[in-house]
Amino acid sequence: MKCPECSNFEDKVVETRESKEGNYIRRRRECLKCGKRFTTYEKIEDIPLLVVKKDGRREEFDIDKVRKGLYRAVEKRPVSSKQIEQIAFQVEELVNNSDKEFPTRRIGEYIMEKLKTLDKVAYVRFASVYLEFKSLEEFLAELQELLKKEE
C-alpha cells in the first residue's frame, strides 16, 4: 500500500480485524519509512462471469441453464444424474478458470464433445438445438457424420 504521508510502498501490518458481517477486513498499517499509521479495508470484489452469445450479447453465466440443457438432452436415456452433474461441474470449471468473458460457442462445443462420448442420442438432441438445424438435410448430415466416425 502507498503511504498517504510520504508515498512509500513499504509498510507492515500492525493489526487485522474482520468485520462482524465478515464481508471486509480492516488492517492498520505502519509505513516503514516515515512511521505514519493508516487504515486500509479489503473486501471481495464480486465481478460476475459473462458469457458472449452468438449474436454478441453478453449475459451473466448461469450454470442452471447448462444443467437444464443437459437434462433435456439425456431425457429417457441411460445417463445418470452423476454423469450430468460431472459435465456441468467441468463446464463451470472451464468458465471459472477463464477471463471474465467466455464465448457460449466454446461451452456448446465442449458439451457436444462430452455427450458424443457419453450417449450418441443425447449428443444428437443437444446438437440439433445448439447447431440450430434449419432442415432435415442438416440433421441427416450430422447423423451421417456421426455414423462415419462410428465405423
Does 76 share its domain with 139? yes
Which residue blocks in the chain are alpha helix, DSSP H?
63-73, 81-96, 104-118, 120-130, 136-150
pLDDT digits (tens, 9 = 90+) for 36-66: 999 999 987 667 788 999 889 999 999 999 9
pLDDT digits (tens, 9 = 90+) for 118-131: 998 898 888 888 77
Does 133 share its domain with 77? yes
| Residue 143 pLDDT exceeds 80 | no
Number of domains in the chain: 2
* Pairwise CA distance, residues 101 & 50, whole Å: 5
Does 38 share its domain with 58? no
For residue 97, the enclosing domain spans: 50-150
pTM over 0.75: no
Does 25 share its domain with 75? no
CB 33 within 8 A of CB 10: yes
Does 56 share its domain with 37? no
| Residue 104 pLDDT exceeds 80 | yes
Mean pLDDT of 93-99: 84
| Percent of the chain whose pLDDT exceeds 90 | 48
Does 55 share its domain with 79? yes
